[in-house]
Structure formats: structure tokens, C-alpha cells
Amino acid sequence: MSTVHIGLGANVGDREATIRAALDRLRAHPRVEVKAVSTLIETEPAGGPPAQPGFLNGAAALETDLEPHALLDLLKEIERDLGRQRRVRWGPREIDLDILLWEDQIVQTDRLTIPHRRLAERRFVLEPLAEIAPDARDPMTGRTVEELLKGLGGT
């Protein structure tokens, strides 16, 4: 079993209910165990079209024996089932599920990059992740999530 950390986000519709529904779907999967879920935090959109609604963001720790691309496929299926519509890049979304860290693995394919490309730059990802996994390490930098968050300043 591998420990995987994912990001959770939504800024359209009943954001909390949609995030909770995604977590319920993950809990119901026979090859995924949800080990921890962070507090959900309200954040401003980072980039994307102007005047979009604020996000609700969080993080979860999973244990799974799925391979990275199989988990990605599961996350995309959950997004589709919960009504995610791809309108515009970095635009509003009903649900967004991203693989952030997969233990010490580095994966770079045309479909998947682990650790997440912008992990070290995004407070809205690092704050909830630091709540549940402050000592998890970014295998690209060797720094912990807590160190990455402190490196953003103001924390």
C-alpha cells in the first residue's frame, strides 16, 4: 500500500457537499482508504478568468494499492460523475481532485506529474496539506510540506 496525498477543491455549486461526495466515493472504493482529511479552507482563485467565485480547498491522505495512473483515472471518473465541466483553463470547477504527493515517487508522463507541478508555490494547497502531513517530503526538493509552506512567507 502506498500513501498518497491529494488536493480537493471546488468553487461552483454546493462546494462542501461536492467535496464530501468525492470523499465518500473514495471511501467506497475497495482499493482506497481515506486516512485523513484536512479542514476545508476558503481561498481566492489563483489565476484563471477574472471574477470567478472563491474556492473551498482541502487535502486528504489516502492509502492505496492502485498504480498512479489508475488512481488518476479514478479521480477523473469521480470528477465527471460529480458534474465537473471543463470550460476554460483554471476556470470555475464543480470539483477538482489532484494527486499532490505519492510517497517519494517522481512521475512525469504526458498525463501525470507527481509531485504536483505547482505544489511548492500554492498556499491553498500547502496549508491544508500541512495540517494532515507536515512531515511529508517533496521528492524534488527534499523539503517537508511544512518547510515549503514556511518558505512562502507570512506563516
Active-site residue 110, yes or no?
A: no
Partners of 97 in the beta sheet? Answer: 8
Active-site residue 14, yes or no?
A: no
Active-site residue 81, yes or no?
A: no
Percent of the chain at pLDDT > 90 equals: 77
pLDDT, tens digit (0-9, with 9 covering 90-100), for 38-74: 999 998 877 666 667 888 999 999 999 999 999 999 9
Continuous H helices in 15-144: 15-28, 68-81, 123-132
pTM > 0.85: yes or no:
yes
According to DSSP, the β-strands at 41-43 and 55-64 are: antiparallel
How much is the pLDDT for 130?
97
Active-site residue 96, yes or no?
A: yes
Residue of 95, 25, 30, 37 whose CA lies nearest to 62: 37
Of 14, 31, 80, 84, the catalytic one is 84
Mean pLDDT over all residues of the chain? 91
Quickly count helices (H) and strands (E) in the chain: 4, 7
Q: For the chain, list the domains and their CATH numbers.
A: 2-117 (3.30.70.560)
User: Is the per-residue pLDDT at 154 higher than 70?
Assistant: no
pLDDT, tens digit (0-9, with 9 covering 90-100), for 76-107: 999 999 987 766 555 577 899 999 999 999 99
